[in-house]
A and B are shown apart, each in its own frame.
Chain A
Amino acid sequence: MDAITNAIDVQNLTVGYGSTVLLEKLNFSVTQGEIFVILGGSGCGKSSLLKNLFGLYEPIAGDVLIEGRNITTALGSERQKIMTSFGVMYQQGALFGSMNLLDNVTLFMEEYTDLTRGQMNLLARCKLDLVGLLPYESYMPSEISGGMQKRAAIARAMALDPKILFLDEPSAGLDPITSADLDSTILDLSKNLGFTFVIVSHELASIYAIADNVIMLDKGAKGIIAEGDPKALRDTSKDPRVHQFFNRIMSKEVA
């Protein structure tokens, strides 16, 4: 594969449901190996945008290219090929409730590889260890806390070592220590294994710690109002909405 291909290219993407348009004509790229964070207030369409990026929802208009391949038009085996090149962690974890954590992680390996049960279990234990859940491998999802479910979901998303990981609010609901641990895991994976991360997040501390690049969405503008390095945006942005977000200013004070 061409080394300069972007991990994700978004071209004139319009996101919404039916006749409701949330975001219009978005254009941005995520380069290989970077940690890319999507920001914005509640209800501005961050999660919807993410679901369009990984092909769960069909966009109203525009294209999403994953490593140069168009996911919006791909069908059949071509689509499956694209789908296995990334992993997704959903906001609520979305673990399979009838399986324990280890089986949750090995499920996709069973389908896509010829590894033996023992090899899959060892590999899954490595993934669970990365997110600090090794002692809980035989627990059912309903027996662990919400934050642990999220971490288990990240382990599952990494099961097949995809090049791209989509994380929907990974640190929401985690305690500060776990959240910091998770940040360092993300940094490690990105630096050492070359994972590309696309993360939807609100957690400013976490964003400053890990993000290479951010885009900020706005409900009113129906699009991107800022992009670039988060610290630079915090310190230099003239846009009052961006300034307000990065400095945690109450809406009353701006109005």
Chain B
Amino acid sequence: MSLSDPNFSPEIAPVAIWSQTDGSDALVSLSGQVNVYSLAGVWTDIRQKQTTWLEQGGGKNQALVFDASKVSSLDGSAFAFLIDVKESQQKAGGQFVIRGLDSKYEPLLHEFDPISNLFPVPVSKPKLSFVVSVGIASQNLLDDARGLITFAGHLAADLVWSILHIKQVRWGDFVNAAVEAGVAALPIVGLVAFLIGVILSFQAAIGMQQFGAVSFVGPLAALGIVREMGPLITAILLAGRSSAAFAAEIGTMTVNSEVDALVTGGLSPIRFLVVPRVLAGILVMPILTLYADIVSILASMFTMLAYGIPFINFYNGMLAAVDLEDICSGLIKATLFGVVVSAMGCLRGMQTGTGAAAVGISATRAVVSSIVMIVLVDGMFAFISYKTGF
């Protein structure tokens, strides 16, 4: 019996009594109300006794007789029980007899014939060799890269198209995406930027204090924030918020065949779904980054005040270290991050398989790929900066 069973009433619990008759046939008399909630104990018990009996040499040319005349009711699970016992009996070469069963249950007893179908032979999956596994993984990686390149090509073409056909861009979707990715992100970007500003300055000040160079922390932090930290943390936040959101949104549309409907209607899903979102990413990323830069530098300013650096010294030091080129470099990088993050979200959304789980997988892949792409772009940018001095 199950304690969690809400329908359990003790007075009608099923009972099965195992007894050996003279010719060493076995008799099981089943009684009570047999249902799925209360059957477990009886089922296990009788099967164990049957197995012992069969192992002791019973079974061959002997019969297991089920007396069901005292059963008050049966449900589907009872038939599974009977079938289980019957199958073991037949396998051992014995016979199985049911007597006293209410005639209304007769058709159900034969509903599942032949019962051997219910006991499939477990098929073990052939194990792949190491070489084959590596091959498959490499192939998947190549396929993914090909998909990415194809998508990038389509997207570039459609972005050019959107400049040439500015009126045909779906500006409504663009505004929605920009509000969701931009305006709604202001609080979290502000909070994280503020904390990063504080932490960066504090950590730098601890080290610099040893060399009596606390006054350089301000310019250093400001430069680091404008060129690197601002764009990077904003992009990572956008990847977590909007890239995942785009992937889930487009992924759900893919699962519901909405993307197929666009294609069969002669519309390009990239033009229709991806372009407005990527344009939104291009718009909001530099703005959010600028906002993050300002909040972060202000936080750094207040932190340095605690180390006895007045605002004006911080300000002058910052002006000497950071020029317009640094800010532009950061913002251009941020714009590229915006393209990469929103495009990866859309791509993973469009690659969604079927079912609810697939949408979750797409959202995860969107965030992971976005962050990988952010780091790649960042690295490329660092290389270009090093070579050109920009």
Q: A residues near B, CB below 8 A?
A: 77, 80-81, 84-85, 97-98, 109, 111-116, 119, 122-123, 125-127, 129-130, 134, 137, 140-142, 158-161, 188, 191-193
A127 to B77, alpha carbons, bound, how many Å? 9
* B357 at the binding interface (Cβ < 8 Å): yes
Q: 20 A-B contacts, Cβ less than 8 Å apart?
A: A84-B6, A114-B41, A119-B44, A119-B81, A119-B84, A122-B80, A122-B84, A123-B76, A127-B76, A134-B118, A142-B354, A142-B358, A160-B36, A161-B35, A161-B75, A161-B77, A188-B108, A192-B104, A192-B108, A193-B75
* B202 at the binding interface (Cβ < 8 Å): no
* B317 at the binding interface (Cβ < 8 Å): no
Inter-chain contact A123/B355, CB cutoff 8 Å: no
A130 to B6, alpha carbons, bound, how many Å? 26
Q: Which residues of A contact B84 (CB under 8 A)?
A: 119, 122
Within 8 A of A (CB), among B1-49: 1-2, 4-7, 35-37, 39-41, 43-44
* B112 at the binding interface (Cβ < 8 Å): yes
What 1/0 mask marks residues of chain B from 120 to 134 whose CB sits below 8 Å from any chain A CB? 100000000000000
A80 to B8, alpha carbons, bound, how many Å? 13
Q: Which residues of B contact A77 (CB under 8 A)?
A: 6
Inter-chain contact B117/A123, CB cutoff 8 Å: no
Within 8 A of A (CB), among B51-80: 74-77, 79-80
The contact of A113 among B5, B105, B118, B357, by CB within 8 Å, is B5
Q: Which residues of B contact A81 (CB under 8 A)?
A: 6-7
- A113-B40, A126-B118 are known; give 10 further A-B pairs, CB within 8 A: A97-B354, A97-B355, A113-B2, A123-B36, A125-B118, A141-B355, A160-B37, A161-B36, A192-B108, A193-B75
A85 to B353, alpha carbons, bound, how many Å? 36
A159 to B35, alpha carbons, bound, how many Å? 11
A160 to B357, alpha carbons, bound, how many Å? 26
The contact of B76 among A84, A134, A191, A193, by CB within 8 Å, is A193
Query: Closest Cβ of chain B: how far from A219's Cβ, in Å?
Result: 27
Q: Which residues of A contact B355 (CB under 8 A)?
A: 97-98, 140-142
Which residue, of B35, B77, B117, has the highest number of chain A Cβ atoms within 10 A?
Answer: B77
Inter-chain contact B80/A158, CB cutoff 8 Å: no
CB-CB nearest in chain A for B5: A112
Inter-chain contact A115/B43, CB cutoff 8 Å: yes
Query: Closest Cβ of chain B: how far from A183's Cβ, in Å?
Result: 15
A197 to B37, alpha carbons, bound, how many Å? 21
* A126 and B107 in contact, given A81-B6, A98-B356, A160-B36 (Cβ under 8 angstroms): no
Q: Which residues of A contact B77 (CB under 8 A)?
A: 115, 123, 161
CB-CB nearest in chain A for B2: A114
* B223 at the binding interface (Cβ < 8 Å): no
Q: Which residues of B contact A119 (CB under 8 A)?
A: 40, 43-44, 80-81, 84
Query: Closest Cβ of chain B: how far from A157's Cβ, in Å?
Result: 12
A-B contact count (CB 8 A): 97
The contact of A97 among B41, B105, B357, by CB within 8 Å, is B357
Inter-chain contact A161/B76, CB cutoff 8 Å: yes
* A85 and B80 in contact, given A119-B43, A140-B355 (Cβ under 8 angstroms): no
A122 to B117, alpha carbons, bound, how many Å? 10
* A115 and B40 in contact, given A129-B118, A188-B108, A193-B108 (Cβ under 8 angstroms): yes
Inter-chain contact A85/B107, CB cutoff 8 Å: no
A142 to B354, alpha carbons, bound, how many Å? 6
Q: Which residues of B contact A192 (CB under 8 A)?
A: 104-105, 107-108
CB-CB nearest in chain A for B40: A114
* B83 at the binding interface (Cβ < 8 Å): yes
A97 to B357, alpha carbons, bound, how many Å? 7
In the A-B complex, the 4 residue pairs with the smallest Cβ-Cβ separation, listed nearest first, are A97-B355, A161-B75, A142-B354, A114-B40
A85 to B108, alpha carbons, bound, how many Å? 21
* B111 at the binding interface (Cβ < 8 Å): yes
* A126 and B36 in contact, given A142-B354, A192-B108 (Cβ under 8 angstroms): no
**Secondary structure class of chain A's binding surface, majority of residues:** helix
Query: Closest Cβ of chain A: how far from B219's Cβ, in Å?
Result: 53
The contact of A114 among B1, B112, B354, B356, by CB within 8 Å, is B1
Query: Closest Cβ of chain A: how far from B35's Cβ, in Å?
Result: 6
Inter-chain contact B107/A188, CB cutoff 8 Å: yes
Query: Closest Cβ of chain B: how far from A214's Cβ, in Å?
Result: 25
Query: Closest Cβ of chain A: how far from B227's Cβ, in Å?
Result: 44
Which residue, of A111, A122, A129, has the highest number of chain B Cβ atoms within 10 A?
Answer: A122
Query: Closest Cβ of chain B: how far from A46's Cβ, in Å?
Result: 23
Inter-chain contact B7/A111, CB cutoff 8 Å: no
Query: Closest Cβ of chain B: how far from A99's Cβ, in Å?
Result: 10
A161 to B43, alpha carbons, bound, how many Å? 17
Inter-chain contact A113/B37, CB cutoff 8 Å: yes
* A123 and B80 in contact, given A113-B36, A113-B37 (Cβ under 8 angstroms): yes
Inter-chain contact A188/B75, CB cutoff 8 Å: no
Query: Closest Cβ of chain B: how far from A102's Cβ, in Å?
Result: 10
What 1/0 mask marks residues of chain B from 355 to 369 whose CB sits below 8 Å from any chain A CB? 111100000000000
Query: Closest Cβ of chain B: how far from A106's Cβ, in Å?
Result: 11
CB-CB nearest in chain B for A161: B75
Inter-chain contact B83/A134, CB cutoff 8 Å: no
The contact of B117 among A134, A159, A160, by CB within 8 Å, is A134
A114 to B40, alpha carbons, bound, how many Å? 6
Q: Which residues of B contact A137 (CB under 8 A)?
A: 120
Query: Closest Cβ of chain A: how far from B212's Cβ, in Å?
Result: 61
CB-CB nearest in chain B for A128: B118
CB-CB nearest in chain B for A78: B6
Q: Which residues of B contact A129 (CB under 8 A)?
A: 111-112, 117-118
Q: Which residues of B contact A109 (CB under 8 A)?
A: 36
CB-CB nearest in chain A for B104: A192
CB-CB nearest in chain B for A96: B356
Q: Which residues of B contact A116 (CB under 8 A)?
A: 40, 44
Inter-chain contact B111/A130, CB cutoff 8 Å: yes
